[in-house]
Structure 1
Amino acid sequence: MQGYVQIYTGNGKGKTTAALGLILRQLGAGGKIFMGQFLKQGDYSEITMLKRFPEQITIEQFGLGKFVRGNPSDEDIEAGRKGYERIASILKNGEHNLVVMDEGNIAVFFNIISEDEMIKLFDTKADHVELVITGRGATPAMIERADLVTEMTEIKHYYQMGVKARTGIEK
């Protein structure tokens, strides 16, 4: 089966959730999955659940999880660079059916991964591997090169009323 490049971007909620839906399908089909979370650190409900399938899915976090509204530190950049190298290797070896770069677009936005490096991943992945990249701000060049792009548009969100992220819904 041919693998494609999918991007989930935009300011609306649901980018990581859409990728998790693909992970769920791949688990049901017996596939092998790698999920790398850029700029994130910590326990999210989805990680707790996915750890129940250790033979099928590997999840690694490549971030310190603390500069969401600032600039990445040298340590954040180093963690992201390690993540890029890890995913580049995984995509080439072709062991996985699905590779998710959660917040990969944000890693490009903050120049942790260059746009050229990201696009190179599109070209060097094993043919059967599906690559999914999430996060706000996908670049025009990445959008042009991807096979499927979905933009999540925020129309209304209860965050605007002061509602914090809820376990099991947003985290």
Structure 2
Amino acid sequence: MEIETPPIHRDTPKPQGERRGLVLVHTGNGKGKSTAAFGLALRAHGRGKAVKVYQFMKVPSARFGEHRLFEQLGIPIEGLGDGFSWKSRDLDHSAALAQDGWAKAEAAIRSGDFFMVVLDEIMYPLRYGWVQLGDVLACLRERPGHVHVVLTGRGAPAELVDLADTVTEMTLIKHHFQAGVPAQRGIED
């Protein structure tokens, strides 16, 4: 590692635009997309802002770590799916759940009742064609100006990347699965 001298002058101009709702996308093959979105939700909630989290791949009865904590904090989190497609017993049912889930998420975004809406793992139903990309893009373009929307999942479509204000790609460098270490509670859930 090379030691650096800390900067003492700002090297970028201070933004002069108005504050407004943002579209933030966390994508890529690396770990941390949902975790980053949940961190944003916690920040917003900590500032007294209304937040709603939708998880497109988790079942409504899920009790993962984020569900337990968000429940304690009063942050509504809702599972909309029946698990990942490779675990599904009926992909038509999975598609119907995704479509119903999108209707709920769209209504929450368009209502303007929330400062932030998180659409966790929405890229899967988009890529599978269960949720129409055009509908999502229209909702994001037409949402109330103060509403922030965070979308997560691998393989974000180019049209969504183009529309978003901030896009972060999580890059896989090394993962414990590659060494045969299984998922662990409190890390992957």
Q: TM-score, normalised by structure 1?
A: 0.93
CA contact (8 A) 1:91 1:124 kept: no
- Flag the 1:60–1:70 CA change in 2: closer, same or farther, 3 A: closer
Counterpart of 1:135 in structure 2 is 153
1:7 aligned residue: 25
1:52 is matched with 72
User: Which residue is 1:43 aligned to?
Assistant: 63
1:85-164 aligned within 5 A: 85-164=103-182
Write the letter of the residue equivalent to 2:68: T
Aligned alpha-carbon RMSD (Å): 1.5
Instruction: Say if 1:10 and 1:135, in contact at 8 Å, map to a contact too.
Output: yes
Residues in 2 aligned to 1:4 and 1:71: alpha-carbon distance in whole angstroms: 36
Question: Which consecutive segments of 4 or more residues in structure 1 shift more than 3 A?
Answer: 68-72
8 Å CA contact retained: 2:88, 2:94: no
1:66 Cα deviation after fit: 4.4
Question: What whole-Å deviation, never above 9, does each CA across 1:122-171 have from its counterpart, x for those lacking one?
Answer: 11211101000000000011101111000000011111011111111111
Deviates more, 1:70-79 or 1:123-132: 70-79
Q: Which runs of 5+ in 2 are unaligned?
A: 1-18
Distance, in Å, in 2 between the alignment partners of 1:108 and 1:66 is: 13
2:141 & 2:168 partners in 1: Cα distance? 20
Which deviations, in whole Å up to 9, do the C-alpha atoms of 1:18-67 show, x marking residues without a partner? 0011011011101111100002122211111100122xx21111101142
Say if 2:50 is the partner of 1:29: no
Q: Which runs of 5+ in 1 are unaligned?
A: none
Query: Are the equivalent residues in 2 in contact too, given 1:72–1:110 (CA < 8 A)?
Result: no
Q: In terms of Rg, which structure is larger?
A: 2
Change (3 A) 1:70 1:79: closer
- The percent of aligned pairs where both chains have the same amino acid is 35
CA contact (8 A) 1:11 1:152 kept: yes
